[in-house]
Amino acid sequence: MRLMRYGSSGRERPALADADGNVHDVSAIVPDFAAAGLAASIAALRGVSPESLPRVADGVRIGPPLSGIGKIVCVGLNYVDHARETGQAPPREPILFLKATSAIVGPNDDIVLPPDAQKGDWEVELGVVIGKEARYVPLDRALEHVAGYCIVNDVSERSYQIERGGQWDKGKGCDTFCPIGPFLATADEVADFRALHLQCRVNGRTVQSGNTRDMIFDVPFLVHYVSQFMSLQPGDVISTGTPHGVGMAMKPPQWLREGDVVELAIDGLGAQRQCVKRYRL
């Protein structure tokens, strides 16, 4: 299944996407796709054909596929080529940081740069959505806790992240810096999470083209690893890192500017499109 939510921000309704990308309302079956009730919502929709449900008009806003996401755990430098382009050695253990949930927006909502931001950057990433609580999970049981997968754009302001001291979080959690969606594909929808092509384009130019087979730490290991340090709750998202091609590593660096258009896609998980704006006081 492909779980979606549509409608104005804060008033989204649950839906399913069919094989042709059409959106069908499921609010008569489940009231919303809420993180805490994710497993129950998926169970309630098993066997339901999207085509049997009311179709939503084309052009409607698509929201994040889940409400009430508790945390977003991000993985840094998880592709060898990305580590190299930043001049760093591949990590021996996953680098973890948290992204503020207030950064979450829909897949096609605007990216709004802070007033004094100078080094906005893009990162296409595979998001792993937790389906049931994971605490000290053995590696061989990690996938039992995965509900599905989605696209995440780990938008970054590199001047905050690198030049302002402390941890990476301050450059990662600005409002609008976490577009998610367009849908959450349940685990059975994804034939091989180890062989998904990821792509990002800026103003029509391909800047990132990678494959999840090149991850240093794969999905089962990340679920296992993160659960050793914090419990993972239903609806939590692990954003698994980005391949090479970020603006920071270009020569000269290329930063997001107002008016830019960012497009992201992952095999089987749909596509995102964001326009870049700047917040004005």
State residue 42's pLDDT score. Answer: 97
Question: pLDDT at residue 131 above 90?
Answer: yes
State residue 121's pLDDT score. Answer: 98
State residue 108's pLDDT score. Answer: 98
CA atoms within 13 A on the CB side of 266: 32
Considering the entire predicted model, what is its pTM? 0.97
State residue 255's pLDDT score. Answer: 98
62-87 pLDDT tens trace: 999 999 999 999 999 999 999 999 98
The burial of 206, by beta-carbon neighbours within 10 Å (0-12 exposed, 13-18 middle, 19 or more buried), is given as exposed
Are the C-beta atoms of residues 153 and 262 closer than 8 Å to each other? yes
Q: How confident is the model at residue 215 (pLDDT cuts 50, 70, 90)?
A: very high
Cβ-proximal residues to 237 (8 Å cutoff; 6+ apart), any chain: 69, 71, 72, 73, 127, 128, 129, 130, 150, 152, 180
Residues 55, 229: Cα–Cα separation, whole Å = 43
pLDDT average, residue stretch 31-44: 97
- For residue 210 the two structure tokens come to 């990678």
Question: pLDDT at residue 158 above 90?
Answer: yes
pLDDT average, residue stretch 190-197: 97
Residues 15, 32: Cα–Cα separation, whole Å = 9
Question: pLDDT at residue 167 above 90?
Answer: no
Question: pLDDT at residue 134 above 90?
Answer: yes
Q: How confident is the model at residue 221 (pLDDT cuts 50, 70, 90)?
A: very high
Question: pLDDT at residue 166 above 90?
Answer: no
pLDDT average, residue stretch 145-174: 96
Question: pLDDT at residue 197 above 90?
Answer: yes
State residue 264's pLDDT score. Answer: 98
CA atoms 140, 141, 145, 147: torsion sign: positive
pLDDT average, residue stretch 236-261: 98
- For residue 177 the two structure tokens come to 């810096």
All structural domains of the chain = 67-278 (3.90.850.10)
